[in-house]
Structure 1
Amino acid sequence: MLIKGKETFTKLSRDFAKEVQKRESVTIRPKEELERAKARLTIENYLGTTTFSPMMR
């Protein structure tokens, strides 16, 4: 995908990360003990880079 350019690669990578975040936020692993539902955390740094991460509330 990098052959198509940096912007294309970045967009595809971010779209993939968003999908993973959605999937992980509803997936309960056998060793997880949850009192509440999982949440989704999105962090954007000062350079504009975004990190998508599931987290436990």
Structure 2
Amino acid sequence: MSEKPQDPAGTTHQFQNFAAQRPAEKSKQVNTGLIVGAVLVVALVVVVAIAVAMMM
């Protein structure tokens, strides 16, 4: 009994449907977490710079 080979990626028809889909547009919202993290990093650098300046 011979078996048909199984395509682990799906059928050609499924792939064609996937390729034909339009990619979802990314929202242009600002990532709040990224902004908060950047502000914290800048504040930390300023605090360290002031500490180093006071030691001299």
Calculate the TM-score normalised by the size of structure 1. 0.40
Higher relative contact order (CA 8 A, sep 6+): 1
* Higher Rg: 2
Structure holding more strand per residue: 1
Structure holding more helix per residue: 2
